[in-house]
Every structure is written in structure tokens, then in C-alpha cells.
């Protein structure tokens, strides 16, 4: 299943909208229980501050299909990490001029 396919898969027809980013039936998060994922990138919605958001559809292993807005996604644990140290320093070819 391609998450960025232009056409919606049939399992999205019965998806219910949730406000918490987890399966409404079993409570598993989208990362834990996603059997299939599809992102509706053809119809973005613009918020008051001109930011785009998309519908993210998830098909859980328990059989439930649900969707939530992309901006309702909880923050990633990877987002708070400090930047990785580079193995080699950046060299500017114009430093010698």
C-alpha cells in the first residue's frame, strides 16, 4: 500500500474521525497498530495561520479504520534531539580568497 497513492483505498470509506491519534477500538497508536496508511494529500486544508494540514488515514490491525488531521499528531520523540555532530567540519571553498 502506497501512503501517497492519488486514489483512496476502499478501506478508508468506513474510517471514523478521531481527535486522539490512536485507534478508537483498541487504543493503539498509529505507529504500533497501523496495517495500512494513506495520506489524502490531494485535498489539503488551510488553517487560520495559513498552515496546511492533511487527513491521515490508518487501518489498524484490529480491523478499525480511522483518520485524524496531520496537525493533531503528537510531537515526535526524535524532534527534541540535538543536531548530530558532523564527522568532518564544513569547509568553504571561498575561505582562501
Percent of the chain with pLDDT over 90: 28
Q: Which three cell numbers stand for residue 27?
A: 487504543
Output the pLDDT for position 41.
82
pTM: 0.71
Q: Which three cell numbers stand for residue 1?
A: 500500500
Instruction: Kindly give the pairing relationship between strand 65-69 and strand 16-17.
Output: parallel
pLDDT digit string, tens, across residues 27-67: 998 888 778 999 888 887 888 888 888 899 999 999 999 99
Instruction: Name the residue ranges covered by the structural domains of the chain.
Output: 10-72
Average pLDDT, the chain: 82
Task: Name the strands in the sheet holding 52-60, side by side, starting at the edge strand that comes first in the sequence.
Answer: 16-17, 65-69, 52-60, 34-46
Reduce the DSSP state of residue 70 to 3 states and report it: helix
Amino acid at each position: 500500500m502506497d501512503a501517497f497513492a492519488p486514489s483512496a483505498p476502499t478501506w478508508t470509506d468506513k474510517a471514523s474521525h478521531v481527535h486522539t491519534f490512536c485507534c478508537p477500538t483498541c487504543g493503539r497508536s498509529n505507529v504500533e497498530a497501523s496495517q495500512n496508511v494513506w495520506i489524502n494529500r490531494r485535498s489539503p486544508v488551510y488553517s487560520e495561520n495559513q498552515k496546511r494540514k492533511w487527513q491521515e488515514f490508518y487501518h489498524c490491525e484490529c480491523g478499525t479504520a480511522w483518520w485524524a488531521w496531520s496537525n493533531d499528531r503528537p510531537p515526535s520523540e526524535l524532534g527534541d534531539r540535538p543536531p548530530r555532530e558532523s564527522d568532518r567540519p564544513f569547509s568553504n571553498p571561498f575561505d582562501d580568497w
